Structure 1
Amino acid sequence: MLLLLLLLTSTGPGHAVKVTGQEKTDGSCLCEVNTNTWAFPTQKFEKVDKLVQDCGANLQKLQNQVTETNGELPKIQAIIKNVTARIEPLKYLNTKGIHNALHLRQLSQDLEEISQMINTAQREKNSAETRKLKEEVVKVQEEVKNMFTDNVFNLETVRDKLRSLHNRVQSCRTIPGDFRSPCHQRLMSNISSPVTTKLNPFDKSYVSGAWGRESKRESEGVYWIQPLRYSNIYDYTIRLYPSYNDFMASKNYKDVNVAAGYSYAGGIQGPGTVLYGGAVYYQCYNKDELCRYDLQSKETKRLTLPNVGINNKFPYCYYSCRDYTDIDLSTDEQGLWVIYATESNHGNIVLSRLDTETFNITHTWKTRLFKKSVTNAFMVCGVLYATRYADTYREEVFYAFNTATGHEDNTLSLPLEKVSTGVASLSYNPIDRKLYMYNDGYLLAYQALF
């Protein structure tokens, strides 16, 4: 028997199978071949087939997810855009480290400054209040000292305590002993309906500006109006009337230019203007400064407000923003005030009292009222009041900060009628005890009730 070796190629490349056979008499070869060697790999095929099916199902699921995501993506982008726009004004909170680890060294410096202020106040007016403040400062200094070694502390709580101490020191230094005589009832009890309603004499399109009555008794008969005729933001002219009758009749007026043009040095920006003691006070054009234009000497003085936010950084913004109302001046029985906001006070209202003789800041209080959360603000008897939008025809005085005590009250609800939505300016006159509002081009006056 002749054994033959046949190499038959299998289904896989590079593989061979050895087969035995017999040579017949006619020279042919008879071989027995086991065909199981080339049997189809059914089990492997089924596994691969299942894998392909699973992969197809997963691919379809992934494709459905992509389709669904593409449908939701515009909504997500819209939400992100909205949130980004809302967070944008508050970016400074992060860049200034307010929400990061706060600096203990700076806190210590602030506390030392307050301590020096209390020492000065105690020398000027040694009272039970100044002695109490001194004791409280010593306690806080000990707390801050312990912070350098403790791992757990709340710096924001300490900062709020320092703000309260700062305000109490300012109040202790500021209020003269006889102040209660003109303001025996410091808080307003109500506000009358408008006693004057008049469209401004320039044009109804001038929706922003200020108006009122000279706030110092030496020139108490003079009425004035200062519209913002350039983009409802800027101007350089104030119109004066010698009497109320002339004002109502729009006659016998005199236009005074405080600068060569609104964009020149000394131009007016924003509706925060007031007339006090024969001088026009306002925000200088595009500057973090107050301007004082003397109507007699024609001279302009300037005063820088430290750290103030300007150019729509902290405008009045409740319901809708009133552009370029970052700096607002106000008058009352105590004199002249400026209302603004700073980054260091987290965008909350800062109130400073001005000495009109030297044109300097004498005292400053820091409130916890976010300036963009109010429509407008004004001073009456050493108390800061803030308003908010109620509806198209009504404002509400909802907040008061008393400089005599440093206390805040956000439970007020004094209605204030108006004829249109927007309030450009609102100020108080201590002579006639009236509030003067510039309301979308309309001029309204109210009687403050105590």
Structure 2
Amino acid sequence: MEKFRHSQSLMMILLMLLLAVSTETSTKTVPEMEVMLQNMTERLEKYQYLNTQGLYNALHLKQLSQEIQQLHDTMSNVQTSKGEAQQIRTELQKFQEDVNKMYKKNIFNLETTREKLRSLSNRVQTCRTIPQDFRTNGHRQGSLVRFYKTYEDFMAGRNHRDETLVSSYTHANAIQGPGTIVYKNMVYYQCYNTPEICAFDLKTKQFQRLALPDAGFNNKFPYCYYNCLDWTDINLSGDDKGLWVIYATEANHGNLVVSRVDFDDFNVTHTWKTRLFKRSVTNAFMVCGVLYATRFINTYKEEVFYAFDTTTGAEDNMLSLPMEKVAAGVANLHFNPLDTKLYMYNGGYMLAYQAYF
């Protein structure tokens, strides 16, 4: 029905133009009439194109006004002190004024209008879910881990519990880098300022340490794209096969190395060397015993481009699995075998991707 109305509108425009031509036939010569018709055809072509592309539409003011009003109502529940919220209010007001102007002209670029409304809506929802700032000293070193009871609590920033591991950021058992994971009630991470991994038992509060011979640390072999992400030399990962540590060594020419760790005895049982230079990837993770690596495409897109199967030793660098993101750098990327999702910490946001096999 919508396309039928659009066709009717275009036919009306053409009919009016032809009527105007017929009234002037007696006073215009044939060449002049040809020029007039050519001009009218050119003017009509742009409307025909817009109609074909679905961009020339009559947009119901009532429906659009309701959506904009819903955004205004939602914004009333957002803290006014947030700079982002104030900016969204300003943009929302300008958007409403622009829509009113377009409505008076009775012509809309529907695709652009809806995209702008969707963008504003997403940003409003973001303001609703982001709690007050939780500030740390950075991801080079840390002394505590924050736990949430449920996923909903995490999203709302409520009902958390802070587990203090050590008394000082520079303690020998302090955390270094963003590659920390929790696996079977243990916290695994790179020990501060050393090529070792630490294990903290959440029940007994006891520590264990495991050395990684020849492993690079302190920004010797970090993950990189255009710029390197500091303190990402050693990265822990877990899947349904067990606990893994991903790093690089001089002996392997700075290429990725992956070792399997026995979490009962806390020692390295197997090590595999790849031919993928660690500084050429943005992050890596394990799924079903396969090492996957990502690379930077642009600020808003990442790509899984490489896989190494620890069972067969086969490498595949022809993958092209896109992942949308919100910022350039990827601080942390892990697979959770319980819900089969990938979790990325990116630009202050936690992003989740459903994995299918």
Alignment correspondent of 2:133:
203
Instruction: Look up the match of 1:367.
Output: 274
Q: Write the deviation string for residues 360-405 of structure 1: whole angstroms up to 9, x where unpaired.
A: 0000000000000000000001100000000110000000001111
Kindly indicate whether residue 247 of structure 2 is the aligned counterpart of residue 317 of structure 1.
Answer: no
Q: Tell me which of 306, 310, 313 is aligned to 1:403.
A: 310
The superposition leaves residues 266-315 of structure 1 with CA deviations (integer Å, 9 ceiling, x where unpaired) of: 10000010000001000001011100011100001100001101000000
Match of 1:442 among 341, 349, 356: 349
1:296 matched to which residue of 2? 203
Distance 2:252 2:279 in 1: 13
C-alpha separation between the residues in 2 aligned to 1:257 and 1:274? 15
Q: Partners of 2:126 and 2:263 in 1: how far apart?
A: 31
Instruction: Give the letter for the 1:369 counterpart.
Output: L
Where relative contact order (Cα < 8 A, 6+ residues apart) is larger, the structure is 1
**Is 1:268 matched up with 2:268?**
no
| Native 8 Å contact 1:348 1:369 kept in 2 | yes
Equivalent residue for 2:151, pick from 239, 244, 262: 244
What is the TM-score with the length of structure 2 in the denominator?
0.63
- Spell out the pairing of 1:1-40 with structure 2 (5 A cutoff): none
- By how many angstroms is 1:202 displaced? 6.5
Find the counterpart in structure 1 of residue 160 from structure 2.
253
Match among 343, 358, 373 for residue 250 of structure 2: 343
Q: Deviations over 1:321-363 (max 9, x none)?
A: 0001000000111011000000000000000000000110000
Cα separation, 1, equivalents of 2:133 and 2:213? 36
Q: Could you tell me how far 1:243 is from its partner in structure 2?
A: 1.4
Structure 2: runs of 5 or more not aligned? 1-124
Cα 1:355–1:248, aligned 2, differ >3 Å: closer, same or farther?
same
> Who is 1:30 aligned against?
none
Amino acid at match of 1:237: L
| Contact in 2 for aligned 1:200/1:443 (Cα 8 Å) | no
Following the alignment from structure 1 to structure 2, what is the Cα–Cα distance between the partners of residues 385 and 201? Answer: 33
Counterpart CA distance in 2 for 1:331 and 1:276 is 7
Q: Tell whether the 8 Å contact from 2:222 to 2:231 is kept in structure 1 after alignment.
A: yes
Task: Look up the match of 1:134.
Answer: none
Query: What CA distance in whole angstroms lies between the structure 2 residues aligned with 1:311 and 1:375?
Result: 17
**Kept after mapping to 1: 8 A contact 2:185/2:201:** yes
8 Å contact from structure 2 (residues 130, 157) kept in 1: no
Cα offsets for 1:175-216 (capped at 9, x unmatched): xxxxxxxxxxxxxxxxxxxxx989775738x6xxxxxxxxxx
Alpha-carbon distance between aligned partners in 2 of 1:368 and 1:256, rounded to the nearest angstrom: 38
Is residue 386 from structure 1 mapped to residue 293 from structure 2 by the alignment? yes
When residues 202 and 276 of structure 1 are mapped into structure 2, their CA distance, relative to the original with a 3 A threshold, is: farther
SS in 1 for 2:351: strand
Alignment correspondent of 1:376:
283
1:327 corresponds to: 234
SS in 2 for 1:247: helix
**Mapping for residues 84-233 of structure 1, pairs under 5 Å:** 203=133, 229-233=136-140
Which string of whole-angstrom CA distances, capped at 9 and with x for unpartnered residues, describes residues 12-35 of structure 1? xxxxxxxxxxxxxxxxxxxxxxxx
Are the equivalent residues in 1 in contact too, given 2:223–2:283 (CA < 8 A)?
A: yes
What SS does the aligned partner of 1:422 have? Answer: coil
Q: CA deviation at 1:251?
A: 1.6
1:197/1:292 CA distance change after superposition, 3 Å: farther
Among candidates 349, 358, 368, match of residue 265 of structure 2: 358
Q: Give 1 or 2 for the bigger CA radius of gyration.
A: 1
Which residue among 333, 349, 355 is the counterpart of 1:426?
333
* DSSP-derived class of the 1:372 partner: helix
Q: Percent identity?
A: 62
Cα 1:197–1:369 change in 2 (3 A) is farther
**Does the 8 Å contact 2:234/2:247 carry over to 1?**
yes
Using the size of structure 1 for normalisation, the TM-score is: 0.50
Alpha-carbon distance in structure 2 between the residues aligned to 1:266 and 1:200: 31
- RMSD of Structure 2 on Structure 1 (CA): 1.8
CA distance in 2, matches of 1:309, 1:200: 36
Distance 2:300 2:306 in 1: 19
3-state SS of 1:266 partner: coil
User: What residue identity is the alignment partner of 2:221?
Assistant: F
Aligned-partner residue type, residue 222 of structure 2: P
Unaligned runs of 5+ in 1: 1-195, 207-228
Runs of 4+ in 1 over 3 A off after TM superposition: 196-204
